[in-house]
């Protein structure tokens, strides 16, 4: 218990420190800060399902897109503030996630097959959105600028968005901290580690997985609204597509999946690298930034297959709270 309190304290202190960054940092740094928090939050959401419950979704863009499109559509067509639309999108994404989970888990789809189903559904969403003219079809949707106004989540400077994303990431980490120490969290881990054994010990594995995917989808959609408000433009490919889906899970994998801080650490490492290499290199050597980014990913995967935190965890030789290996296949008892 003490360890948890220390972690909560650390989280709160870090949050407070980060609140002061905008008072002296440039807009460029604040921009990077926003992206770090947004992706930390999204990867944290993915981590609940992928890291703790061990169900690797490669299609979280589906939920991101639902969040982005729903809040923006409500804002554009009915003037509903994204602060409200955000929750509508989250509920729709949560229900969608639950339904996908129900179909998959009901029929025992897991592992690579679950990943394939999620890719397929996110890809299908690209085409569905492309064919709905009410939400802009292939042209996408734009968030109209209505002036600096907190109540419609629009800010004149990047600092406002920075704070919103910071709060989201902060709450996401706190939630994960709670999950990691709760019965729910242990149930998710037991499902990941060995589903048959979990069932035999009284774990309702179906319910645990459904709760994980619902919560994960719900949170991802909230991230989708933040994404839409910040970038003010989306099209089907940019949110539902494989790009965001893969990015979200990269942060979690690089940081260390199934750990509380892994996704945030992953975002903290990768986002600045991506931004800086793009800023420095995209002018002179087009594509070189992507090459370097890819190289870093390969190196991390080679030398730290459990992610950055996974390595630290095993150096500290194994205390609690570090159940973090992916790809362990349960020994079936069929």
Partner 1 sequence: MSLLEVNSLTKYFGGLVAVRDLSFQVEEGMIIGLIGPNGAGKTTTFNMISGFILPSSGTVRFKGETLNGMKPHEVCAFGLARTFQIVQPFPEITALENVMIGAFVHYHNTTDARRKAGEMLKRVGMARRADTMARDLPLLELKRLEIAKALATEPQILLLDEVAAGLNAVEVEEVLDLVKDLNKDGITFLLVEHVMKVVMSLSHRIVVLNFGEKISEGTPQKVSHDPQVLKAYLGEEVLVA
Please report, as ranges, the residues that interact with partner 1 according to CB under 8 A: 1, 181-183, 186-187, 189-190, 193-194, 196-206, 318-320, 323-325, 328, 330-331, 333
Q: How many CB atoms lie within 10 A of CB 209?
A: 25
In the complex, the smallest distance separating the C-beta of residue 227 from partner 1, rounded to whole angstroms, is 33
- CB nearer to partner 1: pick between 81 and 314: 314
| Cβ-based nearer residue to partner 1, 204 or 282 | 204
Residue 181 Cβ, how far from partner 1 at the closest point, in Å? 6
Determine how many CB atoms are found less than 10 A away from the CB of residue 6: 10
Q: Is 197 exposed, middle or buried (0-12, 13-18, 19+ CB in 10 A)?
A: middle
- Complex with partner 1: residue 146 or 183, whichever CB lies closer: 183
Q: In terms of C-beta density within 10 A (0-12 exposed, 13-18 middle, 19 or more buried), how is residue 23 classed?
A: exposed
Q: Which is nearer to partner 1, 105 or 227 (CB)?
A: 105
Nearest to 176 by CA among 60, 7, 1: 7
In the bound state with partner 1, the residue whose beta carbon lies nearer, of 284 and 319, is 319
Distance between CA atoms of 323 and 6, rounded to whole angstroms? 19
Contact present, 81 and 153 (Cβ < 8 Å): yes
Question: Which residues lie below 8 Å from residue 90, measured CB to CB, with a gap of 6+?
Answer: 67, 218, 219, 221, 222, 225
| Closest approach of partner 1 to the CB of residue 192, in Å | 8
Smallest distance, Å, CB 189 to partner 1? 6
Residue 167 or 312: which CB sits closer to partner 1?
Answer: 312
Q: Indicate the residue among 193 and 275 with the shorter CB distance to partner 1.
A: 193
DSSP string over 187-230: HHHHHHH-HHHHHHTT--HHHHHHHHHHHHHHHHHHHHHHHHHH
Q: Is the dihedral of CA 99, 103, 105, 106 positive or negative?
A: positive
Tokens of 185: 């969290």
Looking up tokens 């982005």 gives: 68
Q: How far is the CB of 124 from partner 1 (least distance, A)?
A: 31
Tokens of 100: 């996908």
Cβ-based nearer residue to partner 1, 79 or 202: 202
Shortest distance in whole angstroms from residue 270 CB to partner 1: 25
Q: Which is nearer to partner 1, 229 or 259 (CB)?
A: 259
Distance in Å, CB of 301 to partner 1, minimum: 19
Of 11, 96, 36, 64, the C-alpha closest to 239 is 64
What are the tokens at 14? 């870090």
The least distance separating partner 1 from the CB of residue 196, rounded to whole angstroms, comes to 6
Closest distance to partner 1 from the beta carbon of 106 (Å): 12
Nearest to 294 by CA among 276, 274, 279, 308: 274
């Amino acid at each position: 218990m003490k360890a948890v309190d220390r972690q909560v304290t650390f989280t709160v202190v870090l949050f407070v420190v980060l609140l002061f960054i905008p008072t002296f940092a440039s807009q460029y740094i604040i921009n990077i800060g926003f992206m770090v928090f947004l992706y930390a939050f999204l990867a944290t959401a993915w981590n609940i399902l992928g890291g703790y419950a061990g169900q690797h979704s490669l299609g979280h863009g589906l939920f991101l897109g639902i969040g982005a499109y729903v809040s923006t559509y409500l804002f554009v067509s009915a003037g509903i503030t994204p602060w409200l639309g955000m929750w509508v999108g989250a509920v729709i994404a949560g229900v969608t996630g639950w339904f996908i989970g129900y179909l998959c888990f009901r029929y025992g789809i897991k592992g690579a097959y679950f990943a394939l189903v999620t890719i397929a559904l996110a890809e299908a969403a690209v085409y569905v959105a492309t064919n709905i003219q009410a939400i802009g079809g292939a042209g996408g949707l734009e968030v109209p600028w209505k002036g600096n106004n907190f109540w419609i989540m629009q800010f004149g400077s990047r600092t406002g968005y920075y704070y919103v994303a910071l709060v989201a990431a902060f709450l996401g980490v706190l939630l994960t901290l709670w999950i990691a120490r709760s019965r729910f969290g242990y149930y998710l881990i037991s499902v990941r580690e060995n589903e048959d054994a979990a069932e035999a010990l009284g774990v309702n594995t179906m319910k645990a997985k459904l709760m994980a995917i619902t919560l994960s989808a719900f949170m991802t959609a909230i991230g989708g609204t933040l994404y839409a408000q910040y970038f003010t433009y989306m099209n089907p490919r940019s949110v539902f597509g494989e790009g965001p889906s893969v990015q979200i899970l990269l942060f979690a994998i690089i940081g260390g999946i199934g750990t509380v801080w892994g996704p945030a650490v992953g975002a903290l490492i990768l986002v600045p690298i991506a931004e800086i290499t793009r800023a420095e290199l995209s002018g002179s050597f087009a594509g070189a930034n992507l090459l370097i980014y890819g190289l870093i990913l390969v190196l991390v995967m080679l030398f730290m297959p459990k992610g950055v935190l996974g390595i630290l965890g095993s150096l500290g030789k194994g205390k609690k709270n570090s159940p973090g290996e992916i790809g362990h296949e349960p020994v079936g008892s069929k």
